[in-house]
Amino acid sequence: MTTHQSNDFVGQRFPRREDQYLLRGEGLYLDDLAEPHNTLHLAFVLSPHAHARILSIDVSEALEVPGVVAVLTGEDFVSLIKPIRPNIEMPTYLYTDRLALALDVVRFVGEQVAVVLAESKYAAHDAIELVQVEYELMPAVVSLEQAISEGSPVVHEHVAGNIAFRGEFASDDFATKHAAGKYRLRERFRHGRVSGSAMEPRGCMAVPIRGEEITFYTSTQIPHIVRTEIAKHVIGCSESALRVVVPEVGGGFGVKAQLYTEELISVALCLKYRRPIKWVQDRREDLLTNTHARDHIYEMEATFDERGVLTSLELELYTNIGAYSSSPFGGTIETTGGARQIVGPYKLPNYAYRCYAVTTNTCASGVYRGVAQPACFMAMEGIMDRIARQLNIDPLEVRLRNIVLPGDMPWVNVLGVRYDTGSYQKCLELARERSGYEDFRRRFPGSRLKDGKYHGIGIGNMVELTGTGAPGWRVRGLQAVSGIDGATIRVEPTGKVSVFVSQANAGQGHFTTFAQIAADHIGVRPEAVTVYEGDTASTPFGTGTFASRSAITGGGAVIQAAEKVSNKIRRLAAHELQVEPNDIVLQDGRARVASDPSRFVDFEKLCLLAYSLGKGALPPTEVYGLEATEYYDPPVVTVANAVHIIEVAIDAIDGRVAIENYYVVHDCGKVINPMIVDGQIHGGIAQGVGEVLMEEIVYDEHGQLINASLLDYLLPTALDVPDLSTLTIDHVETPSIDSLGGFKGVGEGGIIGSVAALTSAIYDALEGIGANVNSVPLRPSHIASLIRAARQSAPDPEATRAKQELTAAH
C-alpha cells in the first residue's frame, strides 16, 4: 500500500541531475580525490606464476629507490589482517581462505606477494620492478575440463578434486519421470570467461582523520559490506571508527561488488603508518585481478512431448571459480545461480541438477552483470531451438508452448521460486509481431545463404531475478549479504528534502531516480530533493547496488520512509489547519486542505515547529524532528522479463557476424524513468554483443593470462553495436505485486537477453549446414572454421555454387 501524493515524477523521462558536473569533468572519481600532502602510494608485486611456493623475497634493492618508505610481504600482514573467508554457509561448501598478501603459496598469476609504500606513485612503480622473488613451481590446473579430470593437480590441498562446492536438487520422482520422456535430446554448452572491465579501474584511499578514525574512499558498489568486512578482518580496526565513502564510480557491473585485498591492506597500513594510503590499479592489473565471470559447462538432457513441451530437464553444471572463493558472494553464486535460474519463464514440471564450483589456478570469479543468467539462458534457449529443430516446429512457437501463462500467475516454479507477475506471453507475441520474425521466416524458408552471407534469427526469451531480499540470499547461504536496504528521509528546516539511501550508484542515475520517487511520495518537486549515497556515516545500513536491486530495495526503503515523513507532515499540517490528516494533500512543498484547496501551509512553516525554531509549538502528541529511517526487505525475488530477437548475417568466408536487426520488448514492472531504463538496456546489449562475439579472458596451458590489455581483450566499440536504425525497444509495464512501488529491476536484462538471442541467431543461421553452435565466444575465426568444417563434411549445393561465384569474382 502506498500513499504517494502524486504521479508527477515517477514514470517521467526526467533528465539527470548528475550530468551537469559529469559533463564538465567535475565528477570526482577515486583517483581525482584530493590527496593529503603526506599520502603514501601503494604498488603491488604480482606473481607471474599460476601455482608456486614462495621461497624468498629480497626487497633490498627496492628499498634503495628514492621515495620508498617500506616494502612489505605476506609475513608482515599475518599480524595485521585475518585470512579472508567469505561468510558462506552451505552444506558441502569448502573454505578456500585467502591471505591479504600471499605467504607461502601463490595460486594464480596476479596474486599479490609484496607491496611497496612510497611518497609517489612513480617511485612505488619503480620499486616493484626491483623486488626479487624466488619461486618453486608447482603443477598448475587451468581449465575446467582439466580441473575435473582424474589426477588433476589441486589448487587447495583440502579441496579434493577441486570441487569447492556441490549442489543438487531433484523434483519429486525425477528419475522415473525423466526416463519416461517421449523425445530426448542432449547437448553440452560452453561459455567462456569474461571480465567486466568498467572504464574506471579500481582504487582506494584510506585517510586517518583523528585518533583511530579513518575515512576510507573506495570505488565500490557495496560500501556497508566492505566496511563490515574490513572491520572484521583488519586487526585493530573498529567499525565505529571506520567511515566508508564511495566517490564517483566509473562503472561497476558487479566487479566492484567484491571485497578486495587492496582494501584491507590500505586500511591496515593506514592504521600502522598513520598516513593516508592510496592505491589505483592500471588496466593490466584490472584484467589480472578483478574478479572474472562465467566460464561454465552445461551438460543437459531434456525430454519433451510431440508438441515440443518440456517434460523434464537434467543439468550438470560446472563453474570455474578460480583460485579462491571471492567475498562476499563466494564461489557458489554462479554455481547455484546457473542451476536455479535456468528454469526461466518455462513451466518445466520435472527438474534435477547437480552443480559444481570448481577451483583452478586462475583469478577468482565473482559477480558480473547477469551473474550466470546470460550463460544459463544461452543454454536453455539453445535447448528450445534444438527441440524446435528436432520436431520441425517454429522455435518461437515452441517457446510459446512452454511459457508460464497469465492465468497461471502468480506461479511457483519447480524449484519453489515465486514469480508474482509477468508478461511472457504478451512479450513473445509482441516480439513476433514487431521484430520482423515472421517476415524473416518467409524470406528464408530453406537455405540461409544469400549474397555470401548466412542469415539467422534468434530468440532470447528470459526472466531476470531481481531485487533479491534477505530470504533469497539465505537460501544461497550468503550470510554476509544482508538483502535489506535502508533510507533516511529528512525534511530540513528550510523545507528542502534530503534522502540518504544505502545504495552506491555507478552510473545508474540514482541521484535522479530516487529524487523522483521521494518527490512523488512526499509532495515536493525533485529539484527540492537531494539524494545522498555511498557514505556509511550518513546513510543507513544496506546491501548495496548489484543484481538489479536498487529500484526495488532502495526504492522500497525510500517509499517507506517517505510514507512516515509525509504522514507526519500531514499530521502537523492538520493540526495547524484544524482539519483531519486524511483531508490533507501534499504537493509542491505545500500541505493543502483537499476539501478547501485555498487553505494551505508550506512545509517550511511546519519545519519551524518540528525543529523548535520560531514561535509555534508542536502538537502535544508529536515529537521533534521531521525524518524517518526505514529498512526494506523486498520479497525473495522479483521477476522481470524480456524477449530479444536478433537477425544476423554471417559472412561465409571470414565468419564475421553483422547484426541486421535488433528487437527488444522489456517488462521491468513500474518504470521510474524510461530514459534511464533504455540506457540500461543499451548498455547491457553492448556487453552481450561483446560477450558473444569478442570478449574472452584467455589463459595459456601454464595459467598465464595472455590477453591482459585492451588491445587483446576486445571490448565493443561504437562500430560493434546495433546501430540506431536497426534497434527497437518496446516496453510493457506489469507492476510487481510483491514489491513496494511495483518496481522490478532492469540493470541486467539487456545482457541476459542479448547473449541468449545472439547465440540463438548464430545457431539458427548455421544449423542448416550442420554446424552446431553451442559455445561462446564466437569469434570470426571460430565461426569461419565451423562453416568450413560443415561444408566439407556435407557440402550444401547452394553454398558450393555461391563459393564458386565468389571465387570467380575474385
Partner 1 sequence: MSSIETTTVELVVNGKRYKRQIEPRLLLADFLRHEIGLKGTHIGCAHGVCGACTVQIDDKTARSCLHFAIDVQNSEIKTVESLATPEKLHPIQQAFHESHALQCGFCTPGILMTTEEFLRGNPNPDDDEIRKALCNNMCRCTGYVNIVKAVGLAATSMSAAENE
Partner 2 sequence: MELKRVQKVEAPHLRVWEALNDIEILKASIPGCESLERIDDDTLHAAVKIKIGPIAAKFKGVIKFSDLNPPNSYMLAFEGQGGAAGFAKGNARVDLTPEGPNATALSYETSAQVGGKIAQLGSRLIDSAAMKTATEFFENFSRALVKEPVEESGSQPDATQPGISESMASVPVQTPPPSSNRPLLIGIGVVVIAALVWYAFA
Binding footprint of partner 2 on the chain (CB under 8 A): 45, 48-49, 109, 128-132, 284, 287-288, 700, 702, 704-709, 711-712
How many angstroms separate the CA atoms of 125 and 343, rounded?
Answer: 49
Q: Which does 700 bind (CB under 5 to 8 A by kind): partner 2, partner 1, none?
A: partner 2
Own/partner long-range contacts of 492-497 (Cβ < 8 Å, ≥24 apart):
492/607, 493/604, 493/607, 493/608, 493/611, 493/613, 494/604, 494/607, 495/524, 495/528, 495/589, 495/602, 495/603, 495/604, 495/607, 496/524, 496/528, 496/529, 496/530, 497/522, 497/524, 497/528, 497/529, 497/530
Q: CB burial class (10 A; 0-12, 13-18, 19+) of residue 376?
A: buried
Instruction: Tell me which residue of 264, 278, 272, 291 sits closest to 369, measured CA to CA.
Output: 291
Residue 11 interacts, among partner 2, partner 1, none and using kind-specific CB cut-offs from 5 to 8 Å, with none
Q: Does residue 554 belong to the site contacting partner 1 (CB under 8 A)?
A: no
Give which of 461, 370, 449, 455 is closest to 695, Cα–Cα: 370
702 binds, among partner 1, partner 2, none (CB under 5 to 8 A by kind): partner 2
Q: Is 718 in the site for partner 1 (CB under 8 A)?
A: yes
Smallest separation, CB 132 to partner 2 (Å): 7
Mark the segment that binds partner 1 (CB under 8 A) among 266-274, 371-379, 598-606, 706-714.
706-714
Contact code string over 64-103 relative to partner 1, x by CB under 8 A: --xx------------------------------------
User: Do the Cβ atoms of 301 and 382 come closer than 8 Å?
Assistant: no
Q: Which is nearer to partner 1, 13 or 188 (CB)?
A: 13
Asked if 95 and 82 count as a contact pair (C-beta separation under 8 A), the reply is: no
Nearer to partner 1, 24 or 442 (CB): 24
What count of other Cβ atoms lies within 10 Å of the Cβ of residue 82? 15
Neighbours of 340 (CB within 10 A): 23
Cβ-based nearer residue to partner 2, 287 or 417: 287
Q: How far is the CB of 662 from partner 1 (least distance, A)?
A: 10
Output 17 or 125, the one with its CB closest to partner 2.
125
19 binds partner 1 (CB under 8 A): yes
Distance CA 492, CA 400 (A): 53
- DSSP assignment of 572-596 equals HHHHHHTS-GGGEEEETTEEEETT-
Comparison of 282 and 527: residue with beta carbon closer to partner 1: 282
> Least CB distance from residue 290 to partner 2, whole Å?
14
Total binding residues toward partner 1, as defined by CB under 8 A: 59
686 binds partner 1 (CB under 8 A): yes
Nearer to partner 2, 530 or 707 (CB): 707
Binding residues among 197-256 for partner 1 as defined by CB under 8 A: 197-201, 248-251, 253
Nearer to partner 2, 131 or 315 (CB): 131
Distance CA 511, CA 16 (A): 8
Stretch that binds partner 1, among 191-199, 220-228, 545-553, 800-808 (CB under 8 A): 191-199
344 binds, among partner 1, partner 2, none (CB under 5 to 8 A by kind): none
State whether the Cα torsion 500-505-511-517 is positive or negative: negative
Nearer CB in complex with partner 1: 579/671: 671
**Measured from the CB atom, is 121 or 476 closer to partner 1?**
121
What is the b/e burial string over 28-52, where b = at least 16 CB atoms within 10 angstroms of the residue's CB? eebbebeeeeebbbbbbbbbebbbb
Helix (H, G, I), strand (E, B) or coil at 187: strand
Q: For the CB of residue 22, give the shortest distance to partner 1 in the complex, in Å.
A: 3
Does residue 282 touch partner 1 according to CB under 8 A? yes
Please calculate the CA angle 588-593-594 and round it to the nearest 5 degrees: 90
Q: How far is the CB of 47 from partner 1 (least distance, A)?
A: 21
Cα separations (Å) of 585 from 582, 593, 697? 8, 6, 57
* Number of CB atoms found within 10 A of residue 700's CB: 11
Site for partner 1 contains 711 (CB under 8 A): yes
Q: Which of partner 1, partner 2, none has residue 751 at its interface (CB below 5 to 8 Å by kind)?
A: none
Q: How far is the CB of 339 from partner 1 (least distance, A)?
A: 28
Residues 481-520 that bind partner 1 (CB under 8 A): 506-509
Interacting span for partner 1 (CB under 8 A) from 4-12, 25-33, 168-176, 349-357: 25-33
Three-state secondary structure readout of 55-88:
EEEECHHHHCCCCEEEEEEHHHHHCCECCECCCE
- Among residues 199 and 706, whose Cβ is nearest to partner 2? 706
CA separation, residue 726 to residues 436, 678, 721 (Å): 11, 15, 10
Cβ closer to partner 2: 129 or 580?
Answer: 129
- By CB under 8 A, name the binding residues for partner 1: 15-16, 18-20, 22-29, 31-32, 66-67, 122-123, 197-201, 248-251, 253, 282-283, 506-509, 675-676, 678-679, 681-687, 709-711, 715, 717-719, 721, 723-725, 727, 750
